């Protein structure tokens, strides 16, 4: 590679280390060649006749020169090169002077190449010396050399040697640069290798942290799911535990209120009648709230729908305050009501708003040991603000942001005097937000607390379901009716559940599929909800080509339990007189009724209910399963009322032994339960939704269904679900819910 410097060509500087190594190797080899060639020539000259002493001495001189150069190479390499170059020049001049061969000056060409390779610039000196010596010998007429040819050869030799040497320099320069570049790249590779090792180490640490974080996230999700399950189980257990005493309260109060003649000719004072009515009304409201809590245990609160109806606000508030007065009887605090005049009529769910008010009043009473609790309401431009204020101890400022959280309690100590599960305010917040309102709290320690919520004056229906419901046209006059839905299931609780969550529709219960064609003709429903057990399915071949969409699904139904246990029916506590008398009325010749229930008050309630029929019933009561079996074997009853959950021999075991005894297997049995066996069946076997429609579904309908399904369902990515679905390492496959769309 050439570099232009000014107006002249600059040859690249060679790598001196490599050049010195090359010259040393060349000098050493030329010295060995000179020694070998001169020694061989001397040996060949010995037998010559006549023997030439001059030739022999000249060859001995060359041998000595080679030996001297070879010896100096290990001590003084530079001196050995100079000795070789200038010694060969002198030897050529001596040979030209001693011997008459015309070819001797032409040895200057290889000498020039050797000089150029070993000493820079010495090729010019060698060429000039050989050329001048040859010219001088010719001018003295001592020799006859072809001077023009010699000089041309020497000139060409110098030029070629010069070019060759500089080519060698360029090659060495390239070699040096490439060596440096290779060293640089090697250093970069080493640096990058170190960085790569560090990166790999960091990556391993990051992967370890990522795996640990993933495990922590999986553990956190499991804990969250477990906490959610415990919360739902807690709400469900509370509801079920409340059903047993509520069964007696509601049953006895209903009999007392609606049929007081059962107790004989007693003069009931008006105050007693009013108190019984309050008990009956409050127990009915309590039952509605328990149903709501059960719904909360099955579904998220955000999935609740509201049964809105036009409601004058002032009567609702005063009626709720009358119920709330019972909370303050015998309490140091008093309840006051301050309602603004001309409160508007709102579209709201009376049960939900009443529950919100009772929750707030109960909380205020619980934390107010003296003074007063005030229920007030006033209207602003676009909303009504309802407040419950008390003169209690107040709430610390740091606790205010959390009081609407589920299961949060301001006092978490084991010695707290205020009872409660921490659900009231959380449920109230969801119900108020479902009405399009907001709820807030204002409190100062030592000065009391005020909890307020607002309801919009012009409120339209706000569906809380994530599914977008179709926009139905506004009713025209009083003749317009809500679209109807048929629910095929003998359990009235299923129709009630559907009605609570699809309250824009009128729900009609159909006992079985046999009455479905007639019901479709009579009601022209928007859809048919066919409730089946998760272990069953409908045979499409047995279905008529109905124009109405048929939705096959699995909702918790006591009819499943009755069918599985092969009993007449299954009644969920609290059992109302209407339910029990309706079932007994469908049976023939029922006189002897055996009650097997560990709740002693339930037998008395059944006795009061059966007294309403004014028929002569023989009622026998047992409180354990084994005692009930003995009573059946001693005297065969016409009907058995059997509680499933009992200490010792439970209802399931009683039914199993009855089926094994031929004398007891055909006795009619009504099962009583306060547990969610239907929900357990859904948990074990999964759920399914199958949509059947005449002619199939249009693309737009499918897309709307997909939009609703995607909004509702959430993915599950934790490894436990993957293992369980695959059935790996002893994990049983989880129940899988499916949604199918079909045509009939």
The owner of tokens 């799911």 is 225
Closest CA to 561 of 498, 497, 496, 652: 652
Cβ partners under 8 Å of residue 565, min gap 6: 652, 655, 669, 671
For strands 669-673 and 569-572, give the pairing.
parallel
Spatial separation of the C-alpha atoms in residues 155 and 159, rounded to whole Å: 6
How many Cα atoms are found within 13 Å in the side-chain-facing hemisphere of 115? 28
* Residue 337: alpha-carbon gap to chain centroid: 49
List, in sequence order, every beta strand (DSSP E) within 437-495.
438-444, 448-456, 484-488
CB 568 within 8 A of CB 558: no
Closest CA to 378 of 343, 351, 336, 419: 343
CA distances 74 to 38, 70, 630, Å, are 22, 8, 124
List, in sequence order, every beta strand (DSSP E) within 380-437.
383-390
pLDDT in tens, 494-512: 887 787 777 678 888 888 7
Please give the CATH architecture assigned to the domain spanning 480-556+682-743. Answer: 3-Layer(aba) Sandwich (3.40)
- Burial annotation 565-598 (CB, 10 A radius, 16+ → b, else e): bebbbbbbbbbbbebbeebbeeeeebeebbbbbb
The owner of tokens 């790598």 is 15
Closest CA to 384 of 313, 300, 443: 313
Q: Which segments in the chain show pLDDT lower than 70?
A: 1-18, 231-244, 285, 288-306, 330, 406-424, 458-481, 503, 535-546, 614, 674-688, 695-696, 714-744
Cβ partners under 8 Å of residue 9, min gap 6: 2, 3
The owner of tokens 């059962």 is 262
pLDDT in tens, 256-314: 777 777 777 777 787 777 777 777 777 776 776 666 666 555 544 444 556 788 889 99
Q: Tell me 54's DSSP state.
A: H
The owner of tokens 């190479």 is 73
- Superfamily per CATH, domain 560-675: Response regulator (3.40.50.2300)
List, in sequence order, every beta strand (DSSP E) within 206-343.
309-312, 334-339
Spatial separation of the C-alpha atoms in residues 592 and 639, rounded to whole Å: 7
pLDDT of residue 377: 92
For strands 334-339 and 345-348, give the pairing.
unpaired
Spatial separation of the C-alpha atoms in residues 226 and 211, rounded to whole Å: 22
Map residue 527 onto helix, strand or coil. Answer: strand
The owner of tokens 């204002």 is 442
Q: Nearest 5°: phi and psi at 238?
A: -60, -45
Spatial separation of the C-alpha atoms in residues 538 and 246, rounded to whole Å: 38
How many Cα atoms are found within 13 Å in the side-chain-facing hemisphere of 161? 26
CA distances 565 to 78, 271, 483, 655, 683, Å, are 115, 46, 36, 8, 19
Break the chain into its structural domains and give their ranges: 3-177, 306-456, 480-556+682-743, 560-675
* Residue 357: alpha-carbon gap to chain centroid: 38
Whether the CA torsion 410, 412, 413, 419 is positive or negative: it is: positive
Count CB neighbours of 270 within 10 A. 7
The CATH number, out of the four listed (3.40.50.300, 1.20.1730.10, 3.30.565.10, 3.90.870.10), of the domain defined by the range 306-456:
3.30.565.10
Spatial separation of the C-alpha atoms in residues 559 and 669, rounded to whole Å: 13
CA distances 682 to 9, 532, 553, 678, 688, Å, are 95, 11, 11, 6, 10
Rounded-to-10 torsion of CA 24, 30, 33, 34: -120
CB 433 within 8 A of CB 455: no
Q: Do domains 480-556+682-743 and 560-675 have the same CATH topology?
A: yes
Q: Which two tokens stand for residue 90?
A: 């002198």
CA distances 184 to 12, 190, 487, 502, Å, are 20, 10, 83, 77
Spatial separation of the C-alpha atoms in residues 355 and 423, rounded to whole Å: 12
Closest CA to 63 of 82, 91, 89, 86: 91
């Amino acid at each position: 590679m050439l570099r232009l410097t000014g107006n002249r060509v600059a040859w690249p500087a060679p790598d001196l280390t490599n050049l010195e190594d090359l010259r040393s190797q060349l000098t050493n080899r030329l010295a060995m060649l000179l020694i070998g060639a001169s020694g061989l020539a001397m040996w060949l000259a010995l037998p010559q006749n006549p023997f030439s002493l001059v030739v022999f001495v000249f060859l001995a001189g060359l041998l000595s020169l080679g030996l001297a150069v070879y010896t100096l190479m290990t001590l003084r390499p530079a001196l050995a090169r100079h000795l070789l170059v200038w010694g060969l020049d002198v030897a050529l001049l001596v040979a030209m002077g001693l011997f008459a061969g015309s070819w001797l000056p032409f040895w200057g060409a290889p000498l020039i190449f050797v000089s150029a390779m070993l000493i820079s610039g010495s090729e010019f000196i060698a060429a000039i010396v050989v050329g001048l010596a040859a010219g001088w010998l010719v001018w003295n007429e001592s020799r006859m050399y072809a001077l023009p040819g010699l000089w041309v050869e020497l000139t060409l030799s110098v030029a070629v040697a010069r070019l060759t040497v500089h080519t060698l320099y360029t090659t060495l320069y390239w070699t040096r640069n490439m060596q440096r570049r290779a060293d640089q790249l090697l250093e970069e590779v080493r640096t990058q290798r170190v960085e790569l090792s560090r990166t790999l180490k960091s990556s391993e640490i990051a992967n370890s942290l990522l795996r640990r974080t993933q495990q922590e996230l999986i553990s956190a999700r499991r804990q969250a799911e477990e906490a959610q399950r415990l919360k739902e189980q807690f709400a469900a257990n509370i509801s079920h535990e409340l059903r047993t005493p509520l069964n007696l309260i509601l049953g006895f109060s209903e009999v007392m209120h609606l049929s007081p003649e059962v107790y004989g000719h007693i003069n009931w004072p008006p105050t007693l009648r009013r108190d019984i009515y309050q008990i009956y009304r409050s127990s009915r409201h309590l039952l509605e709230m328990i149903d709501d809590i059960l719904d909360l245990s099955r579904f998220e609160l955000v999935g609740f729908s509201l049964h809105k109806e036009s409601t004058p606000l002032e009567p609702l508030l005063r009626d709720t305050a009358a119920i709330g007065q019972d909370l303050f009887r015998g309490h140091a605090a008093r309840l006051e009501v301050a309602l603004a005049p001309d409160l508007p009529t709102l579209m709201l769910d009376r049960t939900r708003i009443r529950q919100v008010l009772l929750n707030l009043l109960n909380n205020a009473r619980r934390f107010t040991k003296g003074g007063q609790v005030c229920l007030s309401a006033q209207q602003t431009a676009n909303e009504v603000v309802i407040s419950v204020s008390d003169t209690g101890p107040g709430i610390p400022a740091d606790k205010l942001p959390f009081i609407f959280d589920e299961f949060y309690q301001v006092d978490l100590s084991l010695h707290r005097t205020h009872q409660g599960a921490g659900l009231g305010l959380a449920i109230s917040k969801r119900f108020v937000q479902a009405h399009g309102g907001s709820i807030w709290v204002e409190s100062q320690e030592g000065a009391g607390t005020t909890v307020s919520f607002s309801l919009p004056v012009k409120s339209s229906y706000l569906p809380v379901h994530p599914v977008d419901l179709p926009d139905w046209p506004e009713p025209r006059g009083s003749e317009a009716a809500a679209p109807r839905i048929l629910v095929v299931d003998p359990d009235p609780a299923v129709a009630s559940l559907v009605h609570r969550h699809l309250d824009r529709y009128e729900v009609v219960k159909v006992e079985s599929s046999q009455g479905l064609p007639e019901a479709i003709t009579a009601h022209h429903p928007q859809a048919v909800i066919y409730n089946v057990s998760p272990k069953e399915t409908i045979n499409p071949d047995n279905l008529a080509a109905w124009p109405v969409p048929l939705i096959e699904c699995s909702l918790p139904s006591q009819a499943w339990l009755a069918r599985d246990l092969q009993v007449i029916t299954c009644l969920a506590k609290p059992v109302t007189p209407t339910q029990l008398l309706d079932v007994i009325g469908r049976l023939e010749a029922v006189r002897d009724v055996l009650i097997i229930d560990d709740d002693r008050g339930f037998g008395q309630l059944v006795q009061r209910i059966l007294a309403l029929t004014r028929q002569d019933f023989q009622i026998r009561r047992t409180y354990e399963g084994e005692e009930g079996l003995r009573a059946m074997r001693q005297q065969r009853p016409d009907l058995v009322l059997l509680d499933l959950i009992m200490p010792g021999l439970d209802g399931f075991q009683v039914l199993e032994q009855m089926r094994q005894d031929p004398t007891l297997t055909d006795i009619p049995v009504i099962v009583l339960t306060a547990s969610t066996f239907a929900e357990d069946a859904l948990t074990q076997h999964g759920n399914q939704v199958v949509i059947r429609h005449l002619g199939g579904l249009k693309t737009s309908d499918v897309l709307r269904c997909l939009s609703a399904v995607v909004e509702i369902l959430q993915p599950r990515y934790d490894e436990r679900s993957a293992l369980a679905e695959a059935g790996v390492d002893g994990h049983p496959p989880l129940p899988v819910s499916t949604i199918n769309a079909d045509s009939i």
